[in-house]
Amino acid sequence: MAQRSSGEGTGSAAGSPRPGGFPSGRELIVIAKSETGLRARPEGVTSVTGTDVVPLRDLLASEGATLQPLFGASEERLTAEADRLATTGAEEVPDLSVYYRVEGPEERLDDLAESLRQMDEIEAAYVKPPAELPTQATVQPTKPTRFRLNQLAPAAAESPAATPNFTARQDYLERAPEGIDANFASSRPGGRGADVNIIDIEWGWRFNHEDLVQNQGGIVSGTGSTDLRSENHGTAVIGEFSGDRNTFGITGISPAATVSAVSLETHSTSQAITIAANRLRPGDIMLLEVHRGGPRWPGGTTQFGFIAVEWWPDDFAAIRFAVSKGVIVVEAGGNGGQNLDDPVYDTPQTGFPPSWRNPFNPANPSSGAVVVGAGNPPAGTHGRNAQPAVGEPYVDRARCYFSNYGARVDTQGWGWEVTSTGYGDLQGGPNRDQWYTDEFSGTSSASPIVVGALACLQGFLRARGRSPLSPARAQKLLRSTGSPQQDGPGFTFTPNMSGSGYPQDYPARPATQRIGNRPNLRQLLDRVDDDDDDDDDDDDE
């Protein structure tokens, strides 16, 4: 695939321009009723329970479509894996054997989904919008302003003979509340993430970067995108927690952890989640650097209305599968400017199964993922206010105006001004292996900070011969410790920063718009170091 410069796009079947290297199509997902005993094979669909599937076979043939098990393995293997997990005491192991993906003409997917929903043997059939990187910060789509995240141009100047040490610019490593106290964690045995595996799920990375040499497993499934935008994004993400501990460049929060990737260039989101889960051990960590247009997304190029992917049934099931295996899933909350407590999210998308319940509502079953929001860094970071605002009294740990929020969001990380590998705005030149950024941002930059903090905790526990945190325990600890979220005042975009001819006002962001606390590793290590710690004490603040 030809490489494209940052921001260049191609038209997609879904109708929105998309950068080169991104899968452009929508997905038609089918959930069969378990009693149907459906089996999808290259030669066609059958039933092991004697159900008449001839109408389904004929419909697919008439549309030039095929039905494939969504999660790759045969239905029998998926059922056997669920049974095995159930014997280990895992709770709520989802039945992945009933999920299918329909391959067919894109322009026929909606009609085909409607026809499938009329069949007795089908529980659900729905069309998912394309998944995307969290790369925009647009919360007023009716106005012409488009402030884009991570649209950073590399510096033209040749990089120096020796890369400087940029760790002084990584204030997120420092003491709480400004940082997460990663430097303190690094002084504790295992506190750099030793014996912890992390898999990042998105589109592209540059594993040849000069500061990503140690403990790198590369892409373990799929093919990485050659698009510069996705490559820079993934490189910045893994740099935050996996930058080498050396005398130059940046240092990751958990540099002793082993890091690899599964590519959405090749796999769908739910497929990638299960692939990663099957490569990780209990206590290891998976990062979902992806979001998707939800009920309030107006379509087009804006990411207003984008939400965390767990809202879709197959992604929810895949996350539940990973969590049932003891894998900690860290999920970007999304940059859609959405209140996830809005009742609009209680209404299922057309074609969702009758059993579906809004996972953003804490009263309903949870995916078990750690959902991350984006908060402001300290005022004056890198000598500038992180938001392009007029006269804003800048407040650390206040919700970034683009970040999704609500009771479902567990914790926050820095949503602006993150120093990491990639992009080249801090150090550029012709060699991308020497690029560094000073302005990585979004829930994209917030989520890796949480991943790094969790890796430090798990490494510390493993170094002491103790069991790593379970997903539920990790989630509770993040919600009950840390530097509290603060109120954020309203502000006004300036015309020169917004690109429009007039200022735009954005409302105040009180701490009741929950993105949670910023992790504090000193507190977290003290908590897990207490062998007498009682889970019942880990209630939300």
DSSP symbols for 266-318: TS-HHHHHHHHHTT--TT-EEEE--EEE-TT--STT--TTEE-GGGSHHHHHH
DSSP string, 439-506: EE-SHHHHHHHHHHHHHHHHHHHHHTT-PPPPHHHHHHHHHHSSBPPB-B--EEE-HHHHTSSS-EEE
What are 476-520's pLDDT values in tens digits?
Answer: 999 999 999 999 988 766 544 444 444 567 788 999 999 999 999
Task: Tokens 């373990």: give the residue.
Answer: 220
| SS3 (DSSP) at 333 | coil
Q: What is the pLDDT of residue 138?
A: 52
pLDDT at position 443: 95
* Inter-CA distances, 474 with 172, 219, 330, 461, 490, Å: 20, 26, 10, 12, 33
If you write DSSP's letter for every residue of 375-414 in order, what string do you get? E---TTGGGS-SS-BSS----TTBBPTT--BSTT--EEEE
Contact partners, residue 352, CB within 8 Å, separation at least 6:
124, 126, 313
Could you tell me the two tokens for 385?
């206010």
**225 φ, ψ (degrees, to nearest 5):** -70, 145
Burial class (CB in 10 A: 0-12, 13-18, 19+), 465: exposed
Q: In b/e form, how buried is each residue of 406-424, taking b as 16+ CB within 10 angstroms?
A: bebbbbbbbbbbbbbbbbb
Tokens of residue 183, six digits: 């430097």
Tens-of-pLDDT digits for all 541 residues of the chain?
Answer: 222 223 322 223 333 334 333 345 799 999 999 999 999 998 899 999 999 999 999 999 999 999 999 998 889 999 998 888 888 877 778 999 999 999 999 999 999 999 999 999 999 999 999 999 877 655 444 444 445 678 888 998 888 999 999 999 999 999 999 999 999 999 999 999 999 999 999 999 999 999 999 999 999 999 999 999 999 999 999 999 999 999 999 999 999 999 999 999 999 999 999 999 999 999 999 999 999 999 999 888 788 899 999 999 999 999 999 999 999 999 999 999 999 999 999 999 999 999 999 999 999 999 999 999 999 999 889 987 655 444 455 799 999 988 999 999 999 999 999 999 999 999 999 999 999 999 999 999 999 999 999 999 999 999 999 999 999 999 999 999 999 999 998 876 654 444 444 456 778 899 999 999 999 999 999 999 885 444 444 444 4
Return the closest-CA partner of residue 338 out of 418, 409, 413, 444: 409
With H, G, I as helix, E, B as strand and everything else as coil, classify residue 110.
helix
- 3-state percent breakdown (helix, strand, coil) of the chain, nearest 5: 25, 20, 55
Please list the residues that pair with 46 across neighbouring strands.
39
- Please report how the helices 228-242 and 443-463 are oriented relative to each other, as an axis angle in degrees rounded to 10: 30
- Cβ atoms of 437 and 424 closer than 8 Å: yes
Structure tokens at 516: 């949670």
Instruction: Give the pLDDT score at 20.
Output: 38
Peptide bond into 144 cis (omega under 30): no
Residue type, 238: I
Write out pLDDT tens, residues 135-193.
765 544 444 444 567 888 899 888 899 999 999 999 999 999 999 999 999 999 999 99
- Per the document, the length of the chain is 541
For residues 59-72, b (16+ Cβ closer than 10 Å) or e, as one string?
Answer: bbeebebbbebbbe
Residue 413 and residue 420: Cα distance in Å, rounded? Answer: 14
Q: What is the largest CA-CA distance in the chain?
A: 71
Cβ neighbour number for residue 428 with a 10 Å cutoff: 21
Q: How far is CA 39 from CA 36, 57, 81, 99, 419, in A?
A: 9, 11, 17, 11, 49
Determine whether 388 is exposed, middle or buried from the number of CB atoms within 10 Å of its CB (0-12, 13-18, 19+): middle
What is the pTM (predicted TM-score) of this model?
Answer: 0.92
> How big is the chain by its Cα radius of gyration, in Å?
23
- Smallest CA-to-CA distance from 19 within 209, 150, 156 is with 150
